[in-house]
Amino acid sequence: MQSADKGRSDKLDGEGLVIGIVQARFNAALTDKIAQACTYELAALGVAERHITHVTVPGALEIAVALKAMADSDDFDALIAIGCVIRGETYHFELVANESGAGVTRVALDHQIPVANAILTVDNEAQGWERVEDKGRDAARVAVEMANLLSEL
């Protein structure tokens, strides 16, 4: 039996990969920081700037539609969803958090393309600020690792 698990350094080699990023503009101060950390990490992993397509959408619920359009194009090795949903006093938080997450997963499964979910769901803005940089870096790593894994399978 041959292992598809070549090792961490190979899995995190982004050279030649084409990555699509969909970023929600709602809570833009936070999502801008996630996107910045993400694109810096993609560059550090060897993804060429010219191979990154970054688009914005109004909010978290619109992310899946743009991801689907990117996936439909067959131009990308992996996609990244960036957003931030902050709990409010109504059920709207649960609706947006659940449906945006389900949409991201559906695109990944329907199109067999890795989609790193960097949509923060937090109780307050302070929690968001604590997580933005790690979430952005993690999303870049997940996208690169999963793109490499799926190309091996």
Query: What is the domain partition of the chain in residue ranges?
Result: 18-148
Return the ∠ at Cα 79 (arms to 55 and 126), rounded to 5°: 70
Closest CA to 17 of 153, 146, 112: 146
Of the candidate CATH numbers 3.20.20.70, 3.40.50.720, 3.40.50.960, 3.90.25.10, the domain formed by 18-148 belongs to 3.40.50.960
Those residues of the chain that have pLDDT short of 50 are 1-4, 6-7
Q: Give how far the C-alpha of residue 30 lies from the chain's centroid of Cα atoms, to the nearest Å.
A: 14
Active site residue 92: yes
Spell out a b/e string for 80-119, using b for 16 or more CB atoms within 10 Å of the CB, else e. Answer: bbbbbbbeeeeeebeebbeebbebbeebbeebebbbbbbb
Predicted pLDDT of residue 88: 86
Question: Residue 34 carries which DSSP code?
Answer: H
How does the average pLDDT of the chain come out, rounded?
94
Instruction: Flag whether the pTM goes above 0.85.
Output: yes
Which residue has tokens 């604590």? 130
Predicted pLDDT of residue 10: 72
Predicted pLDDT of residue 9: 61
Return the ∠ at Cα 137 (arms to 37 and 101), rounded to 5°: 105
